[in-house]
Amino acid sequence: MSSTPDVAVRSRLAPSRDVIQALYRLIAVALLCAALTALSDVFFTTNNILNVLRQTALLFLMASGLTLVILTAGLDLSVGANIALSACLAASVMKTTGSPLLGMATGIGCGAAVGFANGILVTALRIPSFIATYGMMWMLTGVTYYYMAGETIHGFPPGFRQLGSGYLLGVPMPVYIMMLFLFIGAFFAQRTVWGQQIYAIGANPVAARLSGVPVERRLVLVYAVSGAMAGLASLIILARINSAQGDIGEELTLPAIAAVLVGGTSLFGGSGTVAGTMIGALFLTLVLNGMNLLQIHSSWQPLVTGIIILLAVWIDNRTRRSDA
């Protein structure tokens, strides 16, 4: 019974480590829901649940692209600032041309272009990703404030607004978009060659290069996708709040990073899933929503998010060490 094949068979039948980790996270989410239901009368109402789902969708869209970046052992600190610029440009194009389609193309195109620039900085100029995207964050913020000059653009076509505030069969539109991108993201990461190459780069860039993975091109792709997803998220925000100003999305970078890390993606690359990030986004949204319902001042949010990030990385460190 103790022969090697038996062990191999048993480990194949036993739930994989990823599944167990995901279960732990779902239990944490369930406990959080139970606690919030007990603490607040408002939490378990249809309105609030729909609100939580809508917020989760937004955070997930940002965090899903970021997950790919972190899978390669990189980081994208510019997602929040990218949302600001993409939203403002999209709003301005939509206002001047009156065409929602052109506006949406601008938003996603701007996001992707910024991401592409990040990818070039990281690969061609060999700047560490956290420095490159941190510099990009400040530059984008500067450009956005300069462009907007304190103005607000508001009032978009009702058709476009459906994207953020519409419902289909009683479920908010962003939730459908989230499910679509959860499927696309999970399929891309797990079932395509490019997706597997991204894991390989994160696990061991040298080995990936030696086995013929075009590391630079995949890295540029990953940053461009992260940027494009930020562009998409910016459209959802625009459609939801019906106005754009320079500081839009600024406070979303930390929660997005936290969602990826809480979702079980390792900062050191090579392990994690897009589905895990959705659980992470749900967790973060519940925490922030719960703080709102319990009337905890919004100043606590960066503090709590910072602590969650540190705890998530610490737990990841410990599980990795016990695996080794």
Task: Report residue 169 as tokens.
Answer: 């069969």
**Which pair of tokens denotes residue 88?**
């403002």
CA dist list (Å): 109 to 115, 126, 173, 222: 10, 24, 22, 15
- The region of 127-135, 166-174, 186-194, 200-208 touching other proteins under the rule CB under 8 A is 127-135
> Which range binds other proteins by CB under 8 A, 45-53, 105-113, 119-127, 194-202?
119-127
Site for other proteins contains 257 (CB under 8 A): yes
The type of residue at 105 is A
Q: Assess 304 for contact with other proteins (CB under 8 A).
A: yes
Residues in contact with 22: Cβ distance below 8 Å, sequence separation at least 6, in sequence order: 264, 273, 275, 276, 279
Select from 40, 99, 301, 319 the one that contacts other proteins (CB under 8 A): 301
- For residue 86, state whether it binds other proteins (rule: CB under 8 A): no
Minimum CB distance to other proteins smaller for 29 or for 139: 139
Alpha-carbon distances, residue 83 vs 21, 198, 236 (angstroms):
31, 24, 10
Tell whether residue 256 is a contact of other proteins (CB under 8 A): no
317 binds other proteins (CB under 8 A): yes
Phi and psi torsions of 126, nearest 5°: 55, 40
Residue at 240: amino acid letter: R
Number of residues this chain uses to bind other proteins (CB under 8 A):
39
CA distance 89 to 102: 11
Q: Does 178 bind other proteins (CB under 8 A)?
A: no
- Asked if 303 touches other proteins (CB under 8 A), the answer is yes
Contact residue for other proteins among 126, 170, 193, 295 (CB under 8 A)? 126
Q: How many CB atoms lie within 10 A of CB 245?
A: 18
Cβ proximity to other proteins: between 115 and 172 the closer is 115
The reply to whether 271 sits near other proteins by the rule CB under 8 A is no
Task: Check binding of 305 to other proteins (CB under 8 A).
Answer: yes
Comparing CB distances to other proteins, the nearer of 127 and 175 is 127
Q: Strand 171-172 and strand 167-168: pairing?
A: antiparallel
Residue 192 is given by DSSP the state S
Residue with tokens 């956005």: 144
| DSSP E strand boundaries for the chain | 153-154, 167-168, 171-172, 243-244
Site membership for other proteins, residue 254 (CB under 8 A): yes
Binds other proteins by CB under 8 A, chosen from 75, 90, 178, 288: 75
Identity of the residue numbered 220: V
Nearer to other proteins, 116 or 134 (CB): 134
323 is an interface residue for other proteins by CB under 8 A = no
Nearest distance in Å: CB 165, other proteins = 29
123: helix, strand or coil: helix
- Cα 316 to Cα 30: distance, rounded to the nearest angstrom: 21
> Quick one: which of 297, 322, 323, 324 contacts other proteins (CB under 8 A)?
297
128-157 footprint of other proteins as x/- string (CB under 8 A):
x-xxx-xxx-xx-xxxxxx-----------
- In whole angstroms, give the CA distance from residue 164 to residue 190: 29
Least distance to other proteins, CB of residue 92, Å: 16
- Chain contacts with other proteins (rule: CB under 8 A): 75, 77, 121, 125-128, 130-132, 134-136, 138-139, 141-146, 254, 257, 267, 297, 299-307, 309-310, 313-314, 317
